[in-house]
Structure 1
Amino acid sequence: MVLEQIYQHCLNKPKTEETFPFNQDTLVFKVCGKMYALLPLDKWEAGDASITLKCDPEFALQLRDNYDCIVGAYHMNKTHWNTIYLKDNQVSIKTLLELIDHSYDLVVSKLPKKLKATITL
């Protein structure tokens, strides 16, 4: 259920595309070619659900302090990326969707003006 909510939430964001740039198990959502969410589907199937999202560095630290299930993302720049482990339901679906929005908005804010102009929010 949560996976479907995440999937639909991401796909409903303007200019979002779903890709598998690393392997057939890691679903990556991009806006205008820039990553904002990674879902390791093989781990979801194994019962170890997580999502990796871009995050403002100061906010990323706050989240890590407030939630045991949020850590610096493995194989990513830990200053700018968090992995949220969903196994214990510490993060509500509402908060999770807000963190996806934050990641998307952060990526959009860094896009060149021409690309930003093509996105209608």
Structure 2
Amino acid sequence: MMTKDKPIINFNWKFGDDESEMLTLDEKEVPEDFADSEFDLFIVSDSSKDPVIHLTKGNGIALSDNNIKITCTRDRLANTRWETASWALKITNTSNWRDTLCGGKITRYSYYSAKRVEE
């Protein structure tokens, strides 16, 4: 469960698409060793036993100034069936201190009927 001081951000994604989100930190929120820190983003299905999706810096997470770009390609999502999932973005600084920056929910939808998606 996220604490009150951590932002909750929800995304709407489409089944079968590559997805990209840009998070921008307020300049006063950017840690001193931001660029040298490790980043991990976990996506966990709310209802099924789909595998956890794990993105890292250089493998789905890119940094630029105070921006964090999250990219989750369709091949990473291809073997998942979930419609809603929880996600959390964690940072581990150079002193090995780990903190959750933000998190939220992802809702996936389709332009096709459920029966059509199953075929």
Greater strand content: 2
Give the greater-gyration-radius structure (CA).
2
Indicate whether the TM-score tops 0.5: no
Give the alignment's TM-score, normalised by structure 1. 0.24
